[in-house]
């Protein structure tokens, strides 16, 4: 891939996402890109240009933020300006459309590239950054920080996952604490352990302060 094309993608994404307030901003995209490259090294994957591009573009058609058809058109428009062959474009799109959690209704991955990008995206959803992003997203969507009257939802449709009653703290139990065991690569699993443990410590302290036991 022409390095100038990557620079153009980065500049476009900075302009498009720099002020985003749900935790899906430019800095999230850049962190996912860097983590994906780190995982690729750990998995001895040397061809990383599709991994890098997919990491940067994975939120472009995300249905949480854009209508499905609009998101597809937006991604297709970006790809039309890149010097990728049809096979590479198909691989990139398959990664972008398959890494979302969707309340546990996730796609089965068949390529190492998709596994790497999914793991990188999920690493950014856990740990200290994941905690901050969870409360940023919840606040933007009008969810309470915590509501003890809510129950942790075990089984959900995608619609329930997106729009049902929940709180930011419940989201840890409904998704975030599950991600460590859903990592697709050995490198991803190793990197997830410290972040997972940090979330457990945070929730323990949160509960102490909430109940006045600290």
Task: Name the architecture of domain 3-211.
Answer: Orthogonal Bundle (1.10)
CA distance 160 to 170: 14
Q: How far apart are the first and last CA of the chain?
A: 54
Position 103 pLDDT exceeds 70? no
Position 104 pLDDT exceeds 70? no
Query: Please, which residues bridge with residue 144 across strands?
Result: 167
Residue ranges of domains in the chain: 3-211
User: How is residue 166 written in tokens?
Assistant: 């929940």
Looking at every residue in the chain, the average pLDDT score rounds to 92
Give the three-state DSSP class for 119: helix
CB < 8 Å & 24+ apart, contacts of 146-151? 146/170, 146/206, 146/210
Q: Quick: pLDDT tens for 128-165.
A: 999 999 999 999 989 999 999 998 888 777 777 666 77
Place of tokens 């990728």: 84
Q: Quick: pLDDT tens for 26-72.
A: 999 999 999 999 999 999 999 999 999 999 999 999 887 888 889 99
Instruction: Please report the pLDDT score of residue 120 as a whole number.
Output: 98
Instruction: Please report the pLDDT score of residue 117 as a whole number.
Output: 97
Instruction: Please report the pLDDT score of residue 105 as a whole number.
Output: 62
The mean per-residue pLDDT over the stretch 60-89 comes to: 90
Q: What are phi and psi of 167, to 5 degrees?
A: -130, 170
């Amino acid at each position: 891939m022409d390095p100038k094309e990557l620079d153009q993608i980065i500049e476009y994404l900075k302009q498009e996402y720099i002020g985003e307030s749900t935790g899906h901003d430019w800095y999230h995209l850049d962190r996912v890109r860097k983590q994906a490259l780190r995982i690729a090294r750990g998995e001895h994957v040397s061809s990383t240009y599709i991994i890098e591009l997919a990491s940067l573009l994975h939120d472009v058609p995300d249905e949480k933020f854009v209508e499905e058809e609009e998101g597809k058109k937006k991604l297709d428009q970006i790809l039309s300006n890149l010097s990728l062959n049809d096979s590479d474009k198909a691989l990139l799109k398959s990664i972008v459309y398959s890494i979302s959690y969707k309340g546990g209704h996730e796609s089965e991955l068949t390529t190492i590239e998709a596994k790497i990008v999914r793991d990188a995206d999920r690493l950014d959803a856990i740990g200290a950054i994941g905690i901050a992003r969870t409360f940023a997203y919840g606040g933007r969507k009008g969810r309470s920080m915590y509501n003890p009257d809510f129950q942790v939802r075990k089984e959900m449709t995608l619609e329930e996952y997106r729009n049902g009653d929940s709180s930011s703290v419940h989201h840890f139990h409904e998704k975030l604490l599950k991600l460590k065991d859903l990592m697709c690569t050995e490198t991803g699993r190793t990197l997830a352990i410290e972040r997972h443990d940090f979330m457990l410590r945070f929730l323990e302290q949160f509960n102490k302060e909430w109940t006045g036991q600290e």
